């Protein structure tokens, strides 16, 4: 059955404005640190990272990690399927996520990346489902807090539906 978007949660303009604000805050915080390594979590963060990275006015490097999460019996188990290319030891690292839901993915990534001894490790998520978050994870930069609904667009999908919509919308649960 074809999914449909029920309503727009954030328009292109709202997203652009908020991403600009995040870029400003991040630029200010990292300005005197040299280079920041932005690690986008695939696939969901690819559009957010593309926009955010272009709005920064500091020295930055882009890397990607891909993870897959299992649901059901092993809910919360996360597995890395693609790692960064570069060594992050001694580097300032910022994880860039599309959305934090339970927080399990971010918790897993923080554990792994911390063990590689970066100079600093911070996190940025465009969206945060605060009510749904069970893992105790710090999110240093949040675009928008949202309710516990399934959203698509701007990189986020439901079984690939909606991923490249320019806005963020809520889908109808069936």
Choices 2-10, 56-64, 99-107, 116-124 (CB under 6 A): range interacting with ligand IMP: 99-107
- 65/98 Cα distance (integer angstroms): 13
- Residue 136 appears among annotated catalytic residues: no
Contact with Mg ion (CB under 5 A) among 23, 26, 30, 44 = 44
- Contacts from 155-163 at CB under 8 Å and sequence distance 24+? 155/43, 155/44, 155/45, 155/46, 155/47, 155/48, 155/98, 156/44, 156/98, 156/99, 156/127, 157/43, 157/44, 158/3, 159/3, 161/2, 161/3, 162/3, 162/5, 163/43
Answer yes or no whether residue 155 interacts with Mg ion by CB under 5 A: no
Residues between 41 and 60 that touch ligand IMP (CB under 6 A): 44
* Closest to ligand IMP by CB, 58 or 161: 161
Choices 6-14, 43-51, 80-88, 157-165 (CB under 5 A): range interacting with Mg ion: 43-51
For residue 155, the partner it binds in ligand IMP, Mg ion, none, with Cβ less than 5 to 8 A by kind, is: none
- Per-residue CA distances from 31 to 26, 59, 141, 166 (Å): 8, 8, 16, 30
- 85/50 Cα distance (integer angstroms): 18
- Among all residues, whose Cβ is closest to Mg ion? 44
Active-site residue among 29, 51, 57, 101? 101
Could you list the active site residues?
Answer: 101
Which residues of the shown chain bind ligand IMP in the complex (CB under 6 A)?
44, 69, 97-105, 150-151, 156-157
Task: Using CB under 5 A, list all residues that contact Mg ion.
Answer: 44
């Amino acid at each position: 059955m074809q999914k449909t978007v029920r309503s727009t949660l954030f328009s292109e303009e709202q997203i652009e404005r908020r991403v600009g604000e995040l870029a400003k805050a991040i630029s200010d915080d990292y300005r005197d640190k040299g280079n920041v390594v932005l690690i986008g979590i695939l696939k969901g963060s690819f559009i957010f990272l593309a926009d955010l990275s272009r709005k920064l006015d500091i020295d930055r490097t882009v890397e990607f990690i891909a993870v897959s999460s299992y649901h059901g019996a092993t809910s919360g188990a996360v597995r890395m399927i693609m790692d960064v290319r570069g060594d992050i030891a001694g580097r300032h690292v910022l994880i860039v996520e599309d959305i934090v839901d339970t927080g399990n993915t971010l918790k897993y990534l923080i554990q792994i990346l911390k063990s590689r001894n970066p100079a600093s490790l911070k996190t940025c998520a465009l969206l945060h489902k605060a009510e749904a978050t069970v893992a105790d994870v710090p999110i240093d930069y949040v675009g928008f807090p949202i309710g516990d609904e399934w959203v698509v667009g701007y990189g986020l999908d439901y079984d690939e539906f909606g991923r490249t919509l320019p806005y963020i919308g809520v889908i109808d649960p069936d």
